Amino acid sequence: MTEAVRIITDQVRQRVRREGVDLAANHALVEQYVRDELRRYSERALGGSAPMIADEQQATREVVAALTGFGVLQPFLDDPEIEEIWINGPARVFVARDGVPELTTLLLGEQDVRDLVERMLQASGRRVDLSSPFVDASLPDGSRLHVVIPDITRKYWAVNIRKFTRRIRDLNQLVGLGALTQQAADFLRICVLGGQNILVSGATQTGKTTMLNALLSSTRPGERIVTVEETFELDLSARDVVAMQCRQPSLEGTGEITLRRLIKESLRMRPDRLVVGEVREAESLDLLIALNSGLPGMCSIHANSARDALAKLSTLPLLAGRNIDSSFVLPTVAGCIDIVVHCEIDRHGRRRVTEIIAPSGQLAGSTIEASPLFLSPHGHLEPTGSHPTKLAKFRAAGVDPASVLRQGAA
């Protein structure tokens, strides 16, 4: 922020305090105040009492962003090519374009970072302090904010903003981007219509949430969908959607709402499909119990491969307590999960689906049997010729996966 922009911003803030107005509720008023103060500043600059402004339009944008947006970060948030922003320190502000990180020239003061975080958290009602040094929150545009403060971090506040994008809304768009073949998209669409329980796996930033959004675009118009997340990320255009997120405990340590609680509550809300944004811990047990009751569902999980995702989902429920053992979990996972879609990102930032497998519902010792339906042996997703063996849900829905899988099968 230049000195001229800082002066104009301060003048507008003083006027706001004097007149007692709410700029957040009136964007037109913001621009009027900024134009007024910019004109006054330019008159002083012409008289030689202040430095001239080289680009008045750019100065206006910067002042408006400082007043109503997120200051110097707002241009990054407005840039559709930037998908993530993170701050490691005052001189270490990074952005990622198409999965590739780059260090910006932006310099921030420590207080600037704190002020930005405080402003971002205002709308969420969440907090970050010594008693709660981590925070996850959603920004007004749906982007996800994650903050960690010292002494958990060594010296500076660590801030991550994963931007929400509306560019990808359905499976066809993923096909257009090369993340998925048309045949695989058609198969996944049939899986959604057939009420299959779908697990989306992959490392961080591989597009798991985007895949969930795209899959859910294929649901039937009359379906009631209930989504459960730690912080809001899914954005569905379906007609009948209830979205819920977790809540942090209060300063007194009360009022926390966990994923486990939300999954249990969701079952009382007459869902036709349950979606859990991501399972990490014991909430996986509650998800399996819900799916085992015949409720169609989807969720994502961090894993290195589709088969690793099944293995991990078979382990996480054991965190729920000593009375839970693998003799219950393994057959439940084998019977509940119908399809696993694995996503990856390469070193060039390209995201794509690399495998789709279908558990058979059977166990081979402690391993869940699964047939690979699509693999990427040569860097391109190809059908293997295998078919799902659990067909009851497909038949009940009146869809036939074989009609899609037999096309171009090896």
Q: Would you kindly state where each structural domain of the chain is located, as residue ranges?
A: 1-68, 72-165, 171-405
Task: Determine the pLDDT at residue 25.
Answer: 61
Give the pLDDT score at 410. Answer: 44
CA distance 354 to 163: 24
Predicted local confidence at residue 408, as pLDDT: 56
The SS3 call for residue 64 is: helix
pLDDT digits (tens, 9 = 90+) for 133-178: 999 998 877 889 999 999 999 999 999 999 876 667 899 999 999 9
Q: Which residues share a beta bridge with 229?
A: 245
- The token duo for 154 is 């060594």
Across 90-170, where does the E strand assignment appear?
92-97, 100-103, 134-138, 144-148, 158-162
Helix, strand or coil, per DSSP, at residue 9: helix
Please report where in the chains the tokens 């959004």 appear, as a residue: 213
Once rounded to an integer, what is the mean pLDDT over residues 179-183?
A: 96
Over pLDDT 70: what percentage of the chain? 96
Q: Which of 118, 100, 99, 102 is nearest to 110 (CA)?
A: 118
User: Per-residue pLDDT for 22 more than 70?
Assistant: no
Q: Rounded CA gap, 71 and 83, in Å?
A: 18
Q: Note the pLDDT tens digit of each residue in 217-272.
A: 999 999 999 999 999 989 888 889 999 999 988 877 788 999 999 999 999 999 99
In the numeric block, which tokens belong to residue 184? 């695989």
Please give the share of the chain, as a percent, with pLDDT higher than 90: 60
Q: CATH class for domain 171-405?
A: alpha beta
- pLDDT at position 246 is 93
Give the predicted TM-score (pTM) of the model: 0.80
**Rounded CA gap, 62 and 78, in Å?**
12
Over 70: is that where the pLDDT of 319 sits?
yes
Q: What is the pLDDT of residue 1?
A: 59
Tokens describing residue 375: 């693999």
Name the 3-class secondary structure at 341: strand
| Structural contact between residues 337 and 310, judged by C-beta atoms closer than 8 angstroms | yes
Per-residue model confidence as pLDDT tens digits over 285-317: 999 999 998 899 999 999 999 999 999 999 999
3-class secondary structure, 93: strand
User: What would be the CATH architecture of the domain defined by 72-165?
Assistant: 2-Layer Sandwich (3.30)
SS (H, E, C) 248-316: CCCCCCCCCECHHHHHHHHCCCCCCEEEECCCCCCHHHHHHHHHCCCCCEEEEEECCCHHHHHHHHCCH
Mean pLDDT of 40-44: 85
Q: Quick one: angle between helices 56-68 and 27-46, nearest 10?
A: 130
Across-strand partners of 16?
Answer: none
Long-range CB contacts (< 8 A, 24+ apart) of 59-62?
59/2, 59/4, 59/5, 59/8, 60/31, 60/34, 60/35, 62/1, 62/2, 62/5
